[in-house]
């Protein structure tokens, strides 16, 4: 990874140290057998011009997406139909951008802040910072975020807890609440644990990806009780997307996305498809646009990576 050198300071050094630690923790696993390569679909590969890193992506309105520069925290806006992107928010020095979600109703963008233990909230209308939220002062890597009708949930890859930021009817932000997890999702034995997160079953359930355990878990958002979604082993699982009974699980170093059919009542799942694409280069997170997924290439541990891009693939339900 490469980092911006303008106005270096202690905040920038802390951010860089957190990203280096992240790269060191994400050690490649053996490559699984390939699924169908849908590169022949000729869907766009969209370069994030000038990006020094990448990790998070989220759907905006229509065919618009937002993606983050992991190293600098800057936000890009693009269009999967036009196949274009450009820098949208030039954020203050010292920030990073990991996972993110857009609240299109309130013109808000929630961004996970990595080792800082913070979340950043941006206004997608005027491009200003709405609020910087200190989610925790414990050891942290705030990794991903999910939105529900009531607010935003964040994961911490270093702690067995989630953080909830309430969002009011007009976009007002409430006080952060910490949800302690119990059950298998609370395992922090690995160096890198909770990762992706999504809402399911009309916000009655949260689904979290656990990189260390190669697993998906359901979490009760009221109690923190968790349970494993049985029948799945997902090495290098990272970001997840949920729609109905389907979960798309991005598996970064395997350069693939697994489409999983889930029975939430039985807490069991089956991999129905493995999406491969020759343009994947350590994808980390994805956003759903109808029958398409847009996945961002992070290129962790890729020597001298000079460009970072979004790869659009088919997403059968």
Q: Would you state the pLDDT for residue 39?
A: 65
pTM (2 decimals)?
A: 0.90
Q: Would you state the pLDDT for residue 316?
A: 85
Task: Give the pair of three-digit tokens for residue 131.
Answer: 């609020």
The C-alpha atoms of residue 235 and residue 218 are separated, in whole angstroms, by 18
DSSP 182: B
Q: Would you state the pLDDT for residue 22?
A: 53
- C-alpha separations of 305 from 82, 215, 256 in Å: 25, 29, 19
Instruction: Give the pLDDT confidence of 224-276 residue by residue, as tens digits.
Output: 999 999 999 999 999 999 999 999 999 999 999 999 999 999 999 999 999 99
Side-by-side strand order, sheet with 108-112? 100-103, 108-112, 118-123, 129-134
Q: Would you state the pLDDT for residue 35?
A: 55
- Cβ contact 162:155 at 8 Å: yes
Counting as low any pLDDT under 50, the low residues of the chain are 1-17, 19-21, 23-34
From 98, 53, 114, 127, select the one nearest 300 (Cα to Cα): 53
The C-alpha atoms of residue 160 and residue 155 are separated, in whole angstroms, by 9
Instruction: Give the pLDDT confidence of 157-189 residue by residue, as tens digits.
Output: 999 999 999 999 899 999 999 999 999 999 999
Grouping H, G, I as helix, E, B as strand and the rest as coil, residue 41 is: helix
């Amino acid at each position: 990874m490469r980092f911006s050198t303008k106005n270096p300071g202690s905040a920038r050094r802390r951010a860089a140290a957190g990203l280096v630690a992240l790269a060191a923790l994400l050690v490649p696993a053996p490559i699984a057998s390939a699924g169908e390569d849908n590169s022949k679909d000729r869907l766009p590969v969209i370069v994030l011009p000038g990006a020094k890193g990448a990790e998070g992506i989220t759907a905006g309105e229509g065919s618009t997406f937002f993606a983050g520069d992991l190293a600098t925290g800057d936000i890009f806006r693009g269009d999967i139909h036009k196949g274009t992107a450009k820098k949208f928010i030039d954020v203050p020095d010292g920030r990073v951008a990991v996972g993110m979600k857009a609240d299109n109703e309130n013109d808000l963008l929630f961004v996970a802040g990595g080792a800082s233990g913070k979340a950043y909230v941006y206004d997608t209308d005027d491009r200003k910072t709405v609020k910087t939220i200190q989610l925790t002062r414990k050891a942290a890597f705030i990794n991903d975020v999910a939105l529900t009708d009531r607010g935003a949930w964040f994961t911490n890859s270093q702690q067995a807890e989630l953080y909830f930021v309430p969002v009011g009817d007009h976009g007002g932000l409430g006080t952060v609440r910490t949800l302690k997890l119990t059950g298998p999702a609370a395992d922090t034995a690995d160096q890198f644990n909770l990762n992706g997160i999504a809402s399911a079953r009309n916000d009655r359930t949260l689904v979290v990806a656990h990189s260390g355990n190669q697993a998906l878990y359901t979490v009760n958002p009221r109690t923190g009780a968790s349970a494993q979604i049985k029948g799945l082993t997902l090495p290098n699982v990272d970001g997840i997307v949920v729609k109905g009974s389907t979960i798309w699980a991005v598996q970064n170093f395997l350069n693939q996305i697994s489409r999983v059919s889930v029975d939430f009542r039985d807490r069991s799942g089956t991999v129905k498809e493995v999406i491969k694409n020759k343009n994947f280069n350590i994808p980390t997170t994805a956003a759903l646009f109808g029958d398409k997924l847009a996945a961002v290439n992070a290129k962790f541990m890729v020597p001298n990576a000079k460009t970072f891009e979004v790869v659009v693939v088919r997403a059968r339900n």
